[in-house]
Amino acid sequence: MSDGLKLLLDDGEDNITEQKCSRFAVVMEGQEVWIQKIGNQLFIGVEVAEDSQEFMNLVVRPMATNLISLGLEEDQADDEHEHGPDCDH
């Protein structure tokens, strides 16, 4: 698993368990936030149902040179655009 992740899970009592995986999710505000390593970067995305009337924005705020905060903001889906044969995205 060359592009796999090595997770270090801390139970809060200084007991650390190591796990390996290709991707993992954190449930945040009832939403699955998936994290996957591709090359030398982490890709982070929120799983949203296809028929959902809302979508989630990832809000990243720098806290220090080696620390960020990640939050979720809900937004209404734009019903005005219909994807058809002439749609270029």
47 contacts: CB under 8 Å, gap ≥ 6 = 25, 31, 32, 33, 34
pLDDT tens digits, 38-67 = 999 999 999 877 777 778 899 999 999 999
Segment 73-87 mean pLDDT: 69
pLDDT at 88 (0 to 100): 58
3-state secondary structure the chain: CCCCEEEEEECCCCCEEEEEECEEEEEECCEEEEEEEECCEEEEEECCCCCCCEEEEEEEEEEECCEEEEEEEEEECCCCCCCCCCCCC
More confident call, 40 vs 82:
40
pLDDT at 1 over 60: no
Single pTM value for the model: 0.72
